[in-house]
A and B are shown apart, each in its own frame.
Chain A
Amino acid sequence: MTGDIARLDAAFAAARAENRAALIGYLPAGFPDVDTGVRAMTAMLEGGCDAVEVGLPHSDPVLDGPVIQTADDIALRGGLRIKDVIRTVGEVQSRAAAPVLCMTYWNPVDRYGPERFAEDLAAAGGAGCILPDLPVEEAGPWRRAADKHGLATVFVVAPSSREQRLAAITAAGSGFVYAASLMGVTGTRESVGREAKDLVRRTRATEAVRAGLPVCVGLGVSTAAQAAEVAGFADGVIVGSAFVKRLLDAGDDREAGVAGVRALAGELAEGVRRRG
C-alpha cells in the first residue's frame, strides 16, 4: 500500500479553494493513553483541523518545551511503542479520512529502519513524516524510502535560515514546508513574532514554493486570534502545545480532555477563516 501524500495535497487545495489557510493539529501518540489519543486526534479533525500530526514521543525531545516533554514522558512511561504509533496513525486516518502525518526525532526512525518505518507508516495510511532534527544533508536514506512509499517529507525552516538553505530545504521537501515562527522550542507564546512573517516571505521566494509547495507556520500558535494572524500570510497554521495543554488540564477526565481538544479545533478553524 502506498502512502497518502495525495490526500495531503488535496487538503491544501481544498483550503486554497476556500481562500483560507489550512489548520494542522499535533498531539503525541499514547497520550494520555493510546485509545484516548486516537479519540482526541479524531476529535481534532472533526472539530475543524484539515490534517493531523501524530507525534512519536522520544526520550530526548530537545526541540520541545515543557508541555510536550510532559506528554511524551507520560506516553513513554505508559509503555508506548512504535507499533502503537503506527496503529494510532491507521485508526485516526480510517476514522476521519483526513491526511495524517507522523512527527518525530530521527533516532527512533533510524533505529527502526527508514525503509521499514516508511513501509509501515504508508501501510497505515500515513501521508508523510516531519523529522525536525534530520537535516537535508543527512536525509538521503529517509527520502528514498519516503518517495518509494508515497510519503511526504516535511522539512523545517527557521528564522536563522539564509536564502541558500531555504532554497535547498524547500527543493528537498514535499507535502509542505514547516516554517518555525521563532527561534526556540515548542510551546505557547503570547504573540506570534515578526520573524514568522519575514521567514514566510523569504520562503515564498524559493523556486519550490513558487511552484506550489505550501508554507505552514508552527511554534507558539495557540489561539484563534493568532491563527487568524498567521492565516493572513501563510498557507497553513500548525498548533501543538495548546492541544496538549487541553488534555493535560483535564487530568483524569478523559472525556473533558477530548471535548477540550474538539472545542479548540473549532475555535482555531474559525480563526483561519477570519481572514478576508
Chain B
Amino acid sequence: MPNDFFIPDPAGQVPTAEGYFGAYGGKFIPEALRAAVDEVAVAYEKAKGDDAFVAELNDLLVHYTGRPSPLTEVPRFAEQAGGARVFLKREDLNHTGSHKINNVLGQALLTRRMGKTRVIAETGAGQHGVATATACALLGLDCTVYMGEVDTERQALNVARMRMLGAEVVPVRSGSRTLKDAINEAFRDWVANVEHTHYLFGTVAGPHPFPALVRDFHRVIGIEARQQLLDRTGRMPDAAVACVGGGSNAIGLFHAFLPHPAVRLVGCEPAGHGLTSGEHAATLSLGDPGILHGSRSYVLQDEDGQITEPYSISAGLDYPGVGPEHAYLKDAGRAEYRAVTDDEAMQALRLLSRSEGIIPAIESAHALAGALAVGRELGPDGLIVVNLSGRGDKDMDTAARYFGLYDAEEADR
C-alpha cells in the first residue's frame, strides 16, 4: 500500500466552482461569513497542491491516526447475512475511535495555515467533537465544541473526553437540543468570531467548500478498502455499505467505488421508531429538497419550510439534513438509501458484539443492519464491505439501558 493517505479527488468534476453537485449544494450563507468561507476554499485549494501540507498530513495519518486501518472479515456475523462474505473497514480502530479524525487533522492543519488560533465544532455523538478536541490539543489551538443538550446527556463519556483534552463543551438548549441546533449555535459563534476562528465542520454538508473538502479528507477510507479487498479476494465488492447522518463516512467509503457501476453503494439512514412513526431522521427516504445549514439538499421539513425535529437512538445520525453529494447520488440513481430502525440497529450491534467480539457505535450498527439485509439479497456469492465508522464504547449506557444490561438476569437473555 502506498504511503499516501490524503488523495484529493483527481476527477474534480463535481462539484462545480459554485459548489453544486447537480441541483444540490451551493453557498446559502449570510454575507458576514462569505469572506471566511471563501478563505477556506482558497486555503484548501492551495494546501492540496502543496507538498509540505500533504506530507505533514500523511505523516499524521500514519503515525498519529494509525492508518491504514485494517479490513476485518466477519464470517460468524455473515452467517446472518445470507452467507455473503462481509468485510468491515475498521475506522473504529483509528485514534479517537472513529473515522472523524481523517477530516479533523486535515482541517486543523488548514486552520494553522490560515493563521487562525481558535477552532469551533459541532458534534452529535461526540466523535467529531472528540477528534476536534484531540487535534486542537495536538496543534495548540483553542477549541470550543457545541453539542445539543440531549446529546451531552446520552454521550456523557465523550463530553468528559473533550473536556479532558482541554476543549470547552457548550450544551445547546435551543430547538430539538440535538445536532442541528449545535450547528446553528456554531454558526452564530462563527459569525461573531470569524476573524480568528475556523469552523471545523464535521460532515459533508454545510456551504461549499465543506462538502467537497470533508469528502476529500475521508476518501482514504474507500481507497484503502478497495485495495485491501482486491488483495484479499481478488475482486470488487458487490456492495459498499455505510450509515448516513450528514454522510461523511459514507461518502468516504463510496467515492473510490463510484467509477465501478457494478458496485452497489448503500447508505443506511436512521428510521428511528419507523418511517411511519413520525419519529425518524430518514432525510433521503422521506425528505424534500430544501436549504439547511448553507446548502441545498434533502431536508426534513413541513410545507412552510420549517425544519422538522428529527429522532434517532443514535446521536450521530439524529439530523434532519444530509450532504448534497448524497442527494445528487440518490437522484442520479448511483447510490441507494434505505432506512434502518432503532431496533434493527441495536440487534445488529449485539450480533456483531457476540459473534465477532467487536462492539460498534450505534451509528455504524445501522450500516451493519443494512448489510445483513443486502447480504440476504445477494446470497452466498455476495461480497460486502461495510464501513465500521466508530467504536461503541460511548454508547454503552444507551445499549445497557436498551438491553437491560444493568440487570444480570435480563442481560443473560
Binding site for B on A (CB under 8 A): 58-63, 65, 69, 73, 76, 81-82, 106-112, 132-135, 137-138, 155-162, 165, 169, 180, 183-185
Cross-chain contact B18 with A161 (CB below 8 angstroms): no
Cross-chain contact A62 with B188 (CB below 8 angstroms): yes
One of A62, A82, A156, A184 near B304 (C-beta < 8 A): A82
Q: How far is the CA of A69 from the CA of B181 in the complex (A)?
A: 12
B124 to chain A, nearest CB (A): 16
Q: How far is the CA of A65 from the CA of B28 in the complex (A)?
A: 19
Cross-chain contact B31 with A169 (CB below 8 angstroms): yes
Query: In the complex, which residues of chain A have a beta carbon less than 8 angstroms from the beta carbon of B194?
Result: 160, 183
Q: Contact residue range for chain B? A: 35 or more
One of B31, B174, B175, B305 near A107 (C-beta < 8 A): B305
* Partner-binding segment picked from B32-40, B50-58, B148-156, B243-251: B32-40
Cross-chain contact B184 with A81 (CB below 8 angstroms): no
A213 to chain B, nearest CB (A): 16
Interface centre among B30, B174, B290, by most chain A C-beta atoms within 10 angstroms, is: B30
Cross-chain contact B191 with A133 (CB below 8 angstroms): no
B74 at the interface (CB under 8 A from A): no
Query: In the complex, which residues of chain A have a beta carbon less than 8 angstroms from the beta carbon of B174?
Result: 69, 73
Cross-chain contact A185 with B191 (CB below 8 angstroms): yes
A60-B292, A107-B299, A135-B31 known; A185-B188 Cβ under 8 A = yes
Binding site for A on B (CB under 8 A): 18, 26-32, 34-36, 174-175, 180-181, 184, 187-188, 191-195, 288, 290-294, 299, 301, 303-307
A203 to chain B, nearest CB (A): 12
A198 to chain B, nearest CB (A): 15
Query: In the complex, which residues of chain A have a beta carbon less than 8 angstroms from the beta carbon of B30?
Result: 62-63, 132-133, 156, 158
Cross-chain contact B28 with A106 (CB below 8 angstroms): yes
A106-B28, A138-B26 known; A165-B34 Cβ under 8 A = yes
Cross-chain contact B305 with A111 (CB below 8 angstroms): yes
B148 to chain A, nearest CB (A): 13
Query: In the complex, which residues of chain A have a beta carbon less than 8 angstroms from the beta carbon of B301?
Result: 107, 111
Q: Which residue of B lies closest to A61 (CB)?
A: B184
Query: In the complex, which residues of chain B have a beta carbon less than 8 angstroms from the beta carbon of A180?
Result: 31-32
Query: In the complex, which residues of chain A have a beta carbon less than 8 angstroms from the beta carbon of B291?
Result: 106-107, 110, 133
Query: In the complex, which residues of chain B have a beta carbon less than 8 angstroms from the beta carbon of A158?
Result: 30-32, 34
Cross-chain contact A160 with B305 (CB below 8 angstroms): no
A60-B292, A160-B36 known; A137-B29 Cβ under 8 A = no
Q: How far is the CA of A162 from the CA of B292 in the complex (A)?
A: 26
Cross-chain contact A63 with B31 (CB below 8 angstroms): no
Cross-chain contact A155 with B31 (CB below 8 angstroms): yes
Cross-chain contact A157 with B31 (CB below 8 angstroms): yes
Query: In the complex, which residues of chain A have a beta carbon less than 8 angstroms from the beta carbon of B293?
Result: 60, 62
Q: How far is the CA of A110 from the CA of B288 in the complex (A)?
A: 12
Q: Which residue of B lies closest to A134 (CB)?
A: B28
Query: In the complex, which residues of chain A have a beta carbon less than 8 angstroms from the beta carbon of B193?
Result: 183
Query: In the complex, which residues of chain B have a beta carbon less than 8 angstroms from the beta carbon of A59?
Result: 175, 306-307
One of B18, B299, B304 near A137 (C-beta < 8 A): B18
Q: How far is the CA of A161 from the CA of B307 in the complex (A)?
A: 29
Cross-chain contact B184 with A160 (CB below 8 angstroms): no
Q: 23 pairs across A/B with beta carbons < 8 Å?
A: A58-B306, A60-B180, A60-B293, A62-B187, A82-B304, A107-B299, A108-B304, A111-B288, A111-B290, A111-B305, A132-B31, A133-B29, A134-B28, A138-B26, A156-B31, A156-B32, A158-B30, A158-B34, A183-B32, A184-B192, A185-B188, A185-B191, A185-B192
